[in-house]
Amino acid sequence: MNNKRVITFGTFDVFHIGHLNILERCASLGHTLIVGVSSDMLNYSKKNRNPIYPQNDRLKIVQSLSFVDEVFFEESLEKKREYIKFYKADILAMGDDWQGKFDEFSDVCDVVYFPRTPSISTTKIIEIAKGI
Ligand code: CTP
């Protein structure tokens, strides 16, 4: 095990196996895993809907995972560089739906993209639950 600090970001609404898999993969890259959980306001501006689970619940679920070390609310997409520096992250890891989108941070940390877990997303679960 190295001593690297890994950071990742997400909404993690209606927590599912895809979320668990990516957080596990992120944790396997280093010693410390820091997770930025989108605030309700940021989520609304990104996805144009309120999350099903409020931010405190989403944060608590992510924080409860044994391989997650630190959590915080991501309040603004514009602050990614600030968060990476503040949490002294060596690696930024994201799902490959973000492929290439965070390469601009490769001057301050390594940037890694993992394949998404197929066939599941929060959006899909909500649609199934609504009978769409
Ligand atoms: N993720 C993943 N595999 C999935 C779903 C999500 O690896 N099947 C990853 C995303 O790539 C991201 C993190 O989990 O790095 C958080 O994604 P989030 O947007 O919160 O979850 P989604 O299920 O993609 O939510 P939505 O459908 O609302 O976009």
Say what the pTM is. Answer: 0.97
Classified by CATH at the fold level, domain 5-130 comes out as: Rossmann fold (3.40.50)
pLDDT, residue 104, reads: 97
124: CA distance to ligand 1 center in Å? 11
Please name the residue whose Cα sits nearest to atom 12 of ligand 1. 95
Instruction: Please list every protein residue whose CB sits less than 6 Å from any atom of ligand 1.
Output: 10-12, 18-19, 22, 47, 94-95, 97, 116-117, 120-123
Please name the residue whose Cα sits nearest to atom 17 of ligand 1. 10
* Stretch (H or E) spanning 124: helix 122-130
As a whole-number percent, the residues of the chain with pLDDT over 90 amount to: 95
Taking only the tens place, the pLDDT of each residue in 48-79 is 889 999 999 999 999 999 999 999 999 999 99
Domain regions of the chain by residue span: 5-130
As a whole-number percent, the residues of the chain with pLDDT over 70 amount to: 99
Please name the residue whose Cα sits nearest to atom 15 of ligand 1. 95
Between CA 5 and CA 32 the distance in angstroms is 5
Q: How confident is the model at residue 117 (pLDDT cuts 50, 70, 90)?
A: very high
Q: Mutation test of ligand 1: which of 6, 9, 11 has the most ligand atoms closer than 8 Å to its C-beta?
A: 11
Amino acid in position 126: I
Average pLDDT, the chain: 96
Q: How confident is the model at residue 132 (pLDDT cuts 50, 70, 90)?
A: confident
pLDDT, residue 68, reads: 98
pLDDT, residue 32, reads: 98
Taking only the tens place, the pLDDT of each residue in 17-56 is 999 999 999 999 999 999 999 999 999 998 888 999 999 9
Number of H helices, E strands in the chain: 5, 5
Between CA 112 and CA 129 the distance in angstroms is 32
- Joined together, the tokens standing for residue 123 give 């959006």
pLDDT of 128 higher than 80: yes
pLDDT, residue 60, reads: 98
Atom of ligand 1 nearest to the CA of 114: 7
User: Which of 31, 30, 38 has its CA nearest to residue 9?
Assistant: 38
